Structure 1
Amino acid sequence: MSARNLVVIGVSTGGPLTLKALFKEIPPLDAAFLIVLHITPQMDYRIAQGLAAAATMPVTLAEDGEYLKPGHIYMAPGGFHLKLEGNQRVVLYEGARVNYVQPAADVAMLSVSRPLKGKLVGIVLTGMGRDGADGIKHIHDIGGITIAQDQHSSTIYGMPKAAALTGAVDHVLPPKKIAAKLIELLA
């Protein structure tokens, strides 16, 4: 069964700890979670394993051609961009860096399209630079709900600030409150 509800998360510096804090608070939900963390191929599997130890849902590195399933957390592997076909199917490709990074959150977020079968949530967490800002605006424009991490809880308030400056962020929250908002939206 493919996922109706989709949550796309962009994150960088400070990401692994923030993701653990977030997913520790979230029970299994009827949504596929797609995480785009700025990581190298050498680190991706270890970080996914660390997150799996904290999360209540299974965590895997996304594979090319895979269909997203509800109640699963997928991480974009290091060294590849990830986009979604029909909001469901993973396409991995090596391309030029976007916002100086690969994988880039903007690539994944900008690949999401209408019609949305269920709820779509875009989240930008702690990180340097502005990756995710264009993606958040796109998700907002096609009817999704958008969230950025607040400055106080961010290791580096670059990416969430850039997202907030687009004017397209619905909620600015710390990780615990992001978890509560996701439960409210998806439970």
Structure 2
Amino acid sequence: MSARNLVVIGVSTGGPLTLKALFRELPALDAAFVVVLHITPQMDYRIAQGLDAVASMPVTLAEDQEFLRSGRIYLAPGGFHLRLNGNQRVVLCEGPRVNYVQPAADVAMLSLTRQLKGKLVGIVLTGMGKDGAEGIRHIKRLGGVTMAQDQQSSTIYGMPKAAADTGAVDFVLPPQKIAAKLKEILDPL
């Protein structure tokens, strides 16, 4: 089933543990989840496997030209930027690093377009730097719901702080409360 609802998550340092804490709390939801974690190609498959072990939705590495499906979690592979064509189709591309990283959350988030149907959610979790801040601003402008991880639960409060500092974040919460908010916004499968 193609995805009407879309959740895009940007995360870096401390990401795998934070993502496990988040996905462990979530039932299968009627949305496609795209996770942009700053990782190397050597680590991406292992991290996807680790998340798949705890998540109630299947976790796979996103593949070029793949159409997003509801109830699935897609991890951007290391060494590529991930863009979404029409909020539905994965486009993997090489190119210069953005915010010193590849994949970059901003690249994925800034590729999004206004949803005609369904919900759009942008989340920035723990990490160094400011990747995701421009993306969160863009998602808010599109009418999406935006969240950032709180300082207390972040390994490094760089990315979530940069996102919150834009003034475009609706909710600043720890991972368990982000999960609760997602359950409120999205229907179960």
TM-score (norm 2): 0.98
Instruction: Give the C-alpha shift of residue 2 in structure 1.
Output: 1.1
1:69 paired residue number: 69
1:19 aligns with 2:15: no
Q: How does 1:35-184 map to 2 (within 5 A)?
A: 35-184=35-184
Q: Which amino acid aligns with 1:103?
A: P
Q: What is the number of residues matched between the two proteins?
A: 187
CA–CA distance in 2 between the matches of 1:114 and 1:85? Answer: 12
Any unmatched runs of 5+ in structure 1? none
Instruction: Give the C-alpha shift of residue 114 in structure 1.
Output: 1.6
Q: Which amino acid aligns with 2:54?
A: A
1:9 aligns with 2:9: yes
Q: Which amino acid aligns with 2:16?
A: P
CA–CA distance in 2 between the matches of 1:113 and 1:55? Answer: 27
Provide the aligned C-alpha RMSD in A.
0.5
Q: Compare 61-70 and 111-120 and name the one that shifted more.
A: 111-120
Q: Deviations over 1:155-180 (max 9, x none)?
A: 00000000000000000000000000
CA–CA distance in 1 between the matches of 2:97 and 2:69? Answer: 28
CA–CA distance in 2 between the matches of 1:114 and 1:171? Answer: 20
Question: Which secondary structure state, in structure 1, belongs to the residue aligned with residue 96 of structure 2?
Answer: coil
CA–CA distance in 2 between the matches of 1:115 and 1:84? Answer: 12
Instruction: Give the C-alpha shift of residue 115 in structure 1.
Output: 3.6
Instruction: Give the C-alpha shift of residue 122 in structure 1.
Output: 0.1
CA–CA distance in 2 between the matches of 1:116 and 1:20? Answer: 31
CA–CA distance in 2 between the matches of 1:116 and 1:39? Answer: 32
Q: Which amino acid aligns with 1:7?
A: V
CA–CA distance in 1 between the matches of 2:179 and 2:115? Answer: 25
Q: Percent identity?
A: 81
TM-score (norm 1): 0.99
Q: Which amino acid aligns with 1:20?
A: K
